[in-house]
Amino acid sequence: SPSRAARQLMDRSQSSTLEGRLEAMKELAKLSADVTFATEFINMDGIAVLTRLVEGSSTLLSHCGEMLAFTLTAFLELMDHGLVSWDTVSVSFIKKIAGYVSQPTVDVSILQRSLAILE
């Protein structure tokens, strides 16, 4: 069920292992396009969890561009459903995203997603 999948991904997205978190973000990026799943994940405060992951720029995110790309993809997919207002996005999150845009060596997928968020 979407509710169970959302709960499992919520737990796995906060995994202490790089592999566990990467797999969770990969799956989350895919499932977030589904509005039923997105609603469940958002209701579990999923946007806040993703925002904290990016804001904290945990060592896992900074050491794994692929994970950051999946995290930003999931964030965009979830926000695109219009269930959460863009006004709720924190200034520190936006600053972090703007920082990715200004990095000369940033991965192109991270750059694209960062620009889409800043739009």
Return the pLDDT at 62: 59
Structure-token pair, residue 61 = 């995110």
The tens place of each residue's pLDDT in the chain, 119 residues long, gives: 999 999 999 999 888 888 888 899 999 999 999 999 999 999 999 999 999 888 876 555 556 788 889 999 999 999 999 999 999 999 999 999 998 888 888 889 989 999 999 98
Calculate the CA dihedral of residues 102, 108, 110, 114 and round it to 10 degrees. Answer: 60
Return the pLDDT at 63: 63
Read off the DSSP letter of residue 64: -
Strands, E, within the chain: which ranges? none
Return the pLDDT at 46: 95
Total domain count for the chain?
A: 1
Domain that holds residue 50: 2-118
Return the pLDDT at 105: 82
Spatial separation of the C-alpha atoms in residues 67 and 85, rounded to whole Å? 24
Return the pLDDT at 8: 95
Instruction: Tell me the pTM.
Output: 0.90
CATH code: domain of residue 65: 1.25.10.10
Cα angle 25, 30, 34; round to 5: 125
